Structure 1
Amino acid sequence: MPYISVFDVLGPNMIGPSSSHTAGAASIACLARKMISGRIKKVEFILYGSFAKTYRGHGTDRALLGGIMGFATDDKRIPDSFSIARQRGLLFSFAVNERETEVHPNTVDIVMTNELGRRMTIRGESLGGGKIRITRINNVEVDFTGEYSTVIVIHRDKPGVVAHITRCLSDENVNIAFMKLFREEKGKLAYSIVESDGQLTEHVSGEIKKNKYVQDVMLVNLQGGTDGSRL
């Protein structure tokens, strides 16, 4: 059996009522926000399963919107996230998908559009006790938790790219905790996701981008703040 700590039982510091439906939702959205550059102008939340059935009563909608604005799970502004979003000029909407049933019951797709018109879709699952998992970036299936600082490299699936990524991290003395490669199919778009124990810097991102097959690099640091940057 997996190890369960007392903190998993008690749940995270949060604005209630539910660690799955509010804290988990806020964490998913907050993590998604760090994965797109610039200011988010528009966001759509597509809800599945239990999220779809109870999102209004459990405050999942307010938690998701608060998270996309960078609010932590215990931020007292979460109950007022609708009015705060409107004040900030953030366009938002919620939709329910009852057709797709082969998903985790607490699943949300977050469709973000930034000020430059770039669009990104993140799928997240709330696993209970405030724990989450990201399972899709755009159309590529992935798997990471956000419990570590993470570098996400979007690149062509070509020989030598993964070695280049690990060399850049090694040169910066970054200790790799986990590394996974996800791809659409052989030779096409791939996502290399590296979770590390320490903070990641823009210098690492710049070095990784020097490879001609690398399209984008996203840095998600655990202690990176909530100003909308990907640090």
Structure 2
Amino acid sequence: MRFKDVFSIIGPAMVGPSSSHTAGAVRIGRVARHILGDLPEKADILFYGSFADTYRGHGTDLAVVGGLLDFDTDDPRIPSSLAIAERLEMDIRFIEGKGQFPHPNTAKIVARRGDREISVVGASIGGGNVEMLGINEFDVKFTAMYPTLVLFHNDRPGMIADVTRVLSRENINIGHMSVDRKGRSGEALTVIDTDNSLTEDVIREIAALATVRDVRLVDLTAARGGNAP
């Protein structure tokens, strides 16, 4: 990851002892929350590497659940996030993941609400920064540092051109794009980082494009109120 500013090293304003084990973990949880689109009813949280070894002592469990509640990194409710989740009747399981993992601080979250289920894999890479590595078994990468459009669609010619045409017309600049597919003309996932916030009208227009199955916006650039008092 390229150096951007001093805050990339010292980390964000946060609750917790470690920017990697708490602030980064909050952001991974929030990404999962935004992709699910609502408060999870159930969530399996798998920790790998250093996360698996130290998550209780470093509060990584509290941090990820705080993210699922849509708390920002400096929200004073993070130390109480497990109690808040229990009060909201969230079913949370922590699992020590097995096998290979891409980074010592890696977490996989499988979150469910109703008949919708999503999975995300992310790594906390230092200074509160994260690198998201996968969504629903698609290999896509993004940092969640910018408003990020997540498109679930079918693979077809012209799909990316249709999306970028809408963004260009609205003067929305693309900073990064990641695409993966499960086969020709099969399911695909496109992730687009933008320099600008996206309005509901833009999101609805993109959602209406042919073969788009779902659209989600991951936007951690502004603090949310969260789900709990």
Give 2:76's aligned residue.
76
Give 1:188's aligned residue.
186
1:215 Cα deviation after fit: 0.8
Q: Counterparts of 1:153 and 1:101 in 2: how far apart (Å)?
A: 28
Residues 98-117 of structure 1 correspond to what in structure 2 (within 5 A)?
99-114=98-113, 116-117=114-115
1:6 Cα deviation after fit: 2.2
Partner SS for 1:140: coil
- Aligned partners of 1:15 and 1:73 also within 8 Å: yes
User: Which runs of 4 or more aligned residues in structure 1 lie more than 4 Å from their structure 2 counterparts after TM superposition?
Assistant: none
Question: Which runs of 5 or more residues in structure 2 are unaligned?
Answer: none
Q: Counterparts of 2:90 and 2:126 in 1: how far apart (Å)?
A: 28
Give 2:13's aligned residue.
13
Residues 147-166 of structure 1, C-alpha deviation per residue, up to 9 Å, x if partnerless? Answer: 11111111111101111111
Residues 18-57 of structure 1, C-alpha deviation per residue, up to 9 Å, x if partnerless? Answer: 1111111011101211111233211110111110111101
Partner SS for 1:35: helix
- Paired residue type of 2:78: I
Q: Compute the TM-score of the two structures, normalised by the length of structure 1.
A: 0.91
Q: Counterparts of 1:102 and 1:61 in 2: how far apart (Å)?
A: 18
Partner SS for 2:141: strand
Q: Counterparts of 1:38 and 1:72 in 2: how far apart (Å)?
A: 16
Percent same amino acid among aligned pairs?
Answer: 42
Q: Counterparts of 1:45 and 1:102 in 2: how far apart (Å)?
A: 14
Give 1:56's aligned residue.
56
Give 2:89's aligned residue.
89
Give 2:28's aligned residue.
28
Structure 1 residues 28-37 or 203-212, which shifts more? 203-212
Q: Counterparts of 1:16 and 1:107 in 2: how far apart (Å)?
A: 18
Structure 1 residues 121-130 or 10-19, which shifts more? 10-19
1:205 Cα deviation after fit: 1.8
- Aligned partners of 1:38 and 1:228 also within 8 Å: no
- Aligned partners of 1:21 and 1:59 also within 8 Å: yes
Kindly tell me: are residues 48 and 148 of structure 1, through their superposed partners in 2, closer, same or farther at Cα, counting changes over 3 Å?
Answer: same
Q: Counterparts of 1:15 and 1:228 in 2: how far apart (Å)?
A: 15
- Within the candidate set 135, 138, 141, 2:136 is matched to 138
Kindly tell me: are residues 10 and 39 of structure 1, through their superposed partners in 2, closer, same or farther at Cα, counting changes over 3 Å?
Answer: closer
